[in-house]
A and B are shown apart, each in its own frame.
Chain A
Amino acid sequence: MLPQVDEAALTADLFQVARTVWQTMLRRRLARAPDLGDTAPLAAFGTQMFTAWSSLTGAWTGSVHLHCDRESALAFSSWLLNDTREPLRDDDVADCLAELSNVVCGNLKVSLPGPTHIGLPAVVMGEDYRLELPGGRQLVRLAGLVEGLRVDLVVVQQVEV
């Protein structure tokens, strides 16, 4: 039997964690964007996308995802590194987003059934892709805005092996 999760409480915790991460590490305020619709599809962003996710295994198995477009990814990365002197390479941006997804996931795990182990993050970047996790079910999705830049955060639970 799968461990039960209060999705409303998890949504609130996810937002709280993400807000703390953006405020602390990027020194920027993250706000909810209900007008965008928490179920808005990825295609609404445009074509150049980044997706970073970190996985949890153990008493609860699933992953925490971070989706944003290229403009947002570049801004988040330069804020994280506190360095705007030179253009960032794609691998720098990927690394920054991986770190953000890892920190969000690591902090969110206390809101999920435990004990769990956090895995290494992964990043996908490109155009017009769709990320499918076989056996996964989206539990939570929320859209956030940081200085007009959108970032979507998603929690997926592994329901089938």
Chain B
Amino acid sequence: MAKRVFVVDDNNIILRFVALHLGEAGFDVHTSSNPLTVAMEVGRCRPDLVLLDVEMPAIRGTQVLAALRRTSCHSTVKIVLFSSLAPEVLAQLSDEYGAAGWIRKASPLDAAALVRQVGELLAAPGARTRPKAIVADDSRAMRRILTGSLTNDGFDVFQAGDGLELDELLRRMPGVDLLLLDINMPELDGARLVRRVRAEGSATRILLVTCESDLGHVRRVQSAGANDYLLKPFTSGELKRTIRRVMEAGRATAG
């Protein structure tokens, strides 16, 4: 059965070129120049891979990708960024937004290379196998310690130093597996943020990491929907065990 590729690009010339050459290579190709209806069309045609332009006037491809990731039924669709942006920019965007990869639009477009790259990406294992974590703490030292531990445990880690940065990260990066949250950060109402994350239906595990010895305050934030809390000071072993426990509890709930 032919692999189905859904191509999204505001440039109709590129759409026709890609559809022609992928079709000749045996792929079942669907196209759209309207990025605002991608989620609906992905649901309709159920592609094996989405080739997604990044620079579109109506909406950026990365925003489309983020929206697809927030939709639980599309959260595992293999999405590949397709753009003339510099390779290092595409690589960073791909990593940040959880794309399965990227293909650079050469000028002129190279049909053979495009067909080969699409084939390779379709054959590659599914999107991100490394879980994503956010470390949110105003202390750079603590962010460094937590990031080091999480990285050693196989996470891709992103950092936020205050509530505004955390808010921005959560908006840009749906599907975060784990959030380590200091509830005493600037620009942050910890309980409100936890409630908001839960209200959006997110399955993100939330671990409160705090020096706050007033457990009443910690438990009030936890009751908003956090999975657990860890009080500073803690050893590296305590940190690893707590993270493992939170992640396994989350898997048990999902299973």
The interface residues of chain B lying within 8 Å CB-to-CB of A21 are 233
Alpha-carbon gap, A114 to B139, bound state (A):
25
The interface residues of chain A lying within 8 Å CB-to-CB of B210 are 106
Alpha-carbon gap, A20 to B213, bound state (A):
14
Contact A98 B139 (CB under 8 A): yes
The interface residues of chain A lying within 8 Å CB-to-CB of B142 are 99
Q: How many residues from B make CB contacts under 8 Å with A?
A: 20
Contact A103 B211 (CB under 8 A): yes
Determine how close the nearest CB of chain B comes to the CB of A3; give it in whole angstroms: 16
The interface residues of chain B lying within 8 Å CB-to-CB of A116 are 214
User: What sequence of 0s and 1s flags, for each residue 138-176 of chain B, a beta carbon within 8 Å of any chain A beta carbon?
Assistant: 111110110010000000000000000000000000000
Contact A115 B214 (CB under 8 A): yes
Alpha-carbon gap, A108 to B213, bound state (A):
8
Determine how close the nearest CB of chain A comes to the CB of B186; give it in whole angstroms: 7
Contact A80 B141 (CB under 8 A): yes
A105 interface residue per 8 A CB criterion:
yes
Q: How many residues from A make CB contacts under 8 Å with B?
A: 27
A110 interface residue per 8 A CB criterion:
yes
When A103-B232, A106-B212, A109-B214 are in contact, do A80 and B140 touch as well, CB less than 8 Å? no
Q: Count how many pairs of residues, one from A and one from B, have CB atoms less than 8 Å apart in the complex.
A: 58
The interface residues of chain A lying within 8 Å CB-to-CB of B212 are 106, 118
Alpha-carbon gap, A107 to B213, bound state (A):
5
Contact A81 B214 (CB under 8 A): no
Determine how close the nearest CB of chain A comes to the CB of B209; give it in whole angstroms: 11
Contact B141 A99 (CB under 8 A): yes
Contact A25 B233 (CB under 8 A): yes
A51 interface residue per 8 A CB criterion:
no
The interface residues of chain A lying within 8 Å CB-to-CB of B233 are 20-21, 24-25, 103, 107
Contact A118 B141 (CB under 8 A): no
The interface residues of chain A lying within 8 Å CB-to-CB of B148 are 82
Determine how close the nearest CB of chain A comes to the CB of B190; give it in whole angstroms: 13
Determine how close the nearest CB of chain A comes to the CB of B25; give it in whole angstroms: 49
Determine how close the nearest CB of chain B comes to the CB of A17; give it in whole angstroms: 9
B234 interface residue per 8 A CB criterion:
yes
When A24-B233, A103-B211 are in contact, do A81 and B144 touch as well, CB less than 8 Å? yes
The interface residues of chain A lying within 8 Å CB-to-CB of B214 are 109-110, 114-116
Closest to A110 in B: B213
Contact A95 B139 (CB under 8 A): yes
Closest to B215 in A: A110
Contact B138 A106 (CB under 8 A): no
The interface residues of chain B lying within 8 Å CB-to-CB of A14 are none
Binding site for B on A (CB under 8 A): 20-21, 24-25, 27, 77, 80-82, 92, 95-96, 98-99, 102-103, 105-110, 114-116, 118, 120
Provide 11 A-B residue pairs closer than 8 Å at the C-beta atoms, listed in order of the A residue. Answer: A21-B233, A24-B233, A24-B235, A25-B235, A77-B141, A92-B141, A103-B211, A103-B233, A106-B210, A106-B232, A109-B213
Binding site for A on B (CB under 8 A): 138-142, 144-145, 148, 184, 186, 210-214, 232-236
Given contacts A25-B232, A82-B236, 11 further A-B contacts (CB under 8 A): A80-B141, A80-B145, A82-B148, A92-B140, A96-B141, A107-B213, A107-B232, A109-B214, A110-B214, A115-B214, A118-B211
**10 closest residue pairs by CB, A with B:** A106-B211, A24-B233, A103-B211, A99-B139, A96-B141, A25-B233, A95-B141, A99-B141, A95-B140, A103-B232
